[in-house]
Amino acid sequence: MPLGVVEGNAILHDNFAPWVMDLGLVVTEVAPDFATLRLPWSDRLAREGGALSGQAMMAAADTATVIAISSARGAYGPMTTVGQSTTFQRPIVGQDVLVTARITKLGRTLAFADVDLVGASDGGFAARATTVYAILG
């Protein structure tokens, strides 16, 4: 059975490192094949020039993938990143980011996802990541 927002946020709080939690990520939507997280704007995450750092966005994409895989499987279980490739198309400045991970293939031992990152205020497309995860349990 797919997870809901409450379960998604519980997975986030129970399984991620403190530095990931410091990003302030919040699960806002979960369905059988996707999860959306909000990455709140923070000056602490901005780089020179005032744009949100790519490292923060990549960590958010990776985290959203875990929630999406968990929902597709009906529960959280051991998994690990095998690969992530991210392309950045425009900077995010002064606004939250909506991070939506969509499962494109869920196998027995591997899961694949496409992750879109868009400005929460203007809806502008900022980046896309592709992720591959090994299912360990």
- Along the 137 residues of the chain, how does pLDDT read in single tens digits? 669 999 999 999 999 999 999 999 999 999 999 999 999 999 999 988 899 999 999 999 999 999 999 999 999 999 999 999 999 999 999 999 999 999 999 999 999 999 999 999 999 999 999 999 999 97
Residue from 28, 22, 78 nearest 55 by CA: 22
What is the pLDDT, as a whole number, of residue 71? 96
Does the model's pTM come out above 0.85?
Answer: yes
87 Cβ contact partners less than 8 Å away, ≥ 6 residues apart:
127, 128, 129
In terms of residues, how long is the chain? 137
List the structure tokens of 51: 């744009």
- Total of domains in the chain: 1
106 Cβ contact partners less than 8 Å away, ≥ 6 residues apart:
69, 72, 73, 112
The 3-state DSSP class for residue 36 equals strand
What letter does residue 24 receive in the DSSP assignment? T
List the structure tokens of 97: 């980011």
Q: Which CATH number do you get for residue 35?
A: 3.10.129.10
**What is the span of the domain harbouring residue 109?**
5-135
What is the pLDDT, as a whole number, of residue 48? 85
